Amino acid sequence: MRPFLLLLILLFCFHSATKAQSGVLVFKKKNQNIQSWVKDDFIHFQYVTTQWIDGKIKRISKDSVFLNCYILRQVAGAFGLPMMDTSWIGPMGVHISEIIGMPGNRFKSGMFTNGSLLKLGSAGYIFLNLFNSLQKGEAVFASYNLRRIGIAAGVFLVGHLQSLKYKSYYRMGRKYSMQIIAAQ
């Protein structure tokens, strides 16, 4: 009985040691690795049709990634409380050239870098300045007040220019790329 059990354990160890491994999908910025995925990892990317796709990686070949796609939605559960619902769509094969975008950092707010804080603050200042001037009966476009409104309008313009420059995702191209590293 013991030799049979020992043989069974050796066969199991040999099988797991010689099991074929799949490749690694790597997201790169020039020559620096930003993130990598292997089999059974979850991935979120922008497809060539500009649709954002979520999926669990089932297999990575030399030039393609095979996913089991899903949709994650928030729905009303018992007593109207929100809960997450996962709908599995099915398998999908994606060539790495069909991945055209990756999401930016999910843990970063972007409020300071996308210009919305500058626009909100300057618009609030202009509104409050105009409201107070009208309430006190002062001239809205007096020389001392026009300078303050002009500065706030300039800050609003800087925030607008910043929002035009801000990107919430990484676009594949010269700077960012996807690569598959095949396992040996």
Give the Cβ contact number of residue 170 at 10 Å: 20
Residue 182 neighbours by CB under 8 Å, 6+ apart: 23, 62
Of the two residues 152 and 19, the one the predictor is more confident about is 152
The tally of CA atoms less than 13 A away on the side-chain side of residue 54 is 8
Tokens, residue 135: 């309430």
User: What per-residue confidence (pLDDT) applies to 49?
Assistant: 93
pTM: predicted TM-score of the whole model, two decimal places:
0.64
Secondary structure letter of residue 38 according to DSSP: -
Residue 110 has pLDDT above 60, yes or no: yes
Residue pLDDT, tens place only, 41-83: 999 999 999 999 999 999 999 889 999 999 989 999 888 899 9
pLDDT of 19 over the 60 cut:
no
The whole-number pLDDT of residue 20 equals 53
Confirm if 113 and 166 have CB atoms less than 8 A apart: yes
DSSP lists the bridge partners of residue 68 as: 56, 91
